[in-house]
Amino acid sequence: MPIINEPLIRQSYRGLNEAESDILRRYLIDRDGPVSRLETQVNVGPGELLPESQPDQFRRSWRESSKLKIDAVVERDATIELVELKDFGRTSFLGQLLMYRYWYEVERNPDKPLQLWIATPDVNPSSVQPSRFEGVQFHLQAPEGREHFRQGIEADPPFMGLQ
């Protein structure tokens, strides 16, 4: 029986579609540890700037809406997890997570270590080794995802010390 707080296991989460909500729910249940705080669609980064010729209100609105959005931030006793939720883990998630970590650290100055997570049913094998090299952890939710992860680990050339 999971020890996660029941109010955190929701049918849907703010800003997430149904598939992302399902992936997050499964992640929380499978990781099964106390969660002190859960946020979804967390804005970080400066956002895009529009030319001065645009109306101020539109520029402010555009800047806010164009900020990076972390799918989920899960705070536990000892860590803060930045979680990217994908229906398929393509290589692009690595760049997203690295940008999220940078801006989250700059803007929030967290007092706990950050962990980067990709929660997905399946993953592109070519993304596994570079992601692990950058400290990304995987929560794979389907047998084919675990097989593709294994293929990614075994691919040549392996990164030293990550096997």
pLDDT of residue 90: 93
Is 107 among the domain residues? yes
Instruction: State the pTM of this model.
Output: 0.84
Residue 2 domain-assigned?
Answer: no
pLDDT (0 to 100) of residue 79: 95
Distances (CA, A) of 73 to 64, 105, 122, 154: 19, 13, 21, 30
Average pLDDT, the chain: 88
For residue 159, being part of any structural domain is answered with no
Residue 4 forms part of a structural domain = no
User: Is 3 within the bounds of a domain?
Assistant: no
pLDDT band, residue 149 (cuts 50/70/90): very high
Q: Is residue 40 part of a domain?
A: yes
Q: Has residue 49 been placed in a domain?
A: yes
CATH of the domain at 33: 3.40.1350.10
Alpha helices in the chain (DSSP H): 18-31, 56-65, 92-108, 128-133, 143-154
Confidence of residue 158 (pLDDT cuts 50, 70, 90): low
Domain-embedded: residue 26: yes
Question: What is the rounded CA–CA span in Å between residue 93 and residue 19?
Answer: 17
Domain count of the fold of the chain: 1
Give residue 88's domain range. Answer: 13-154
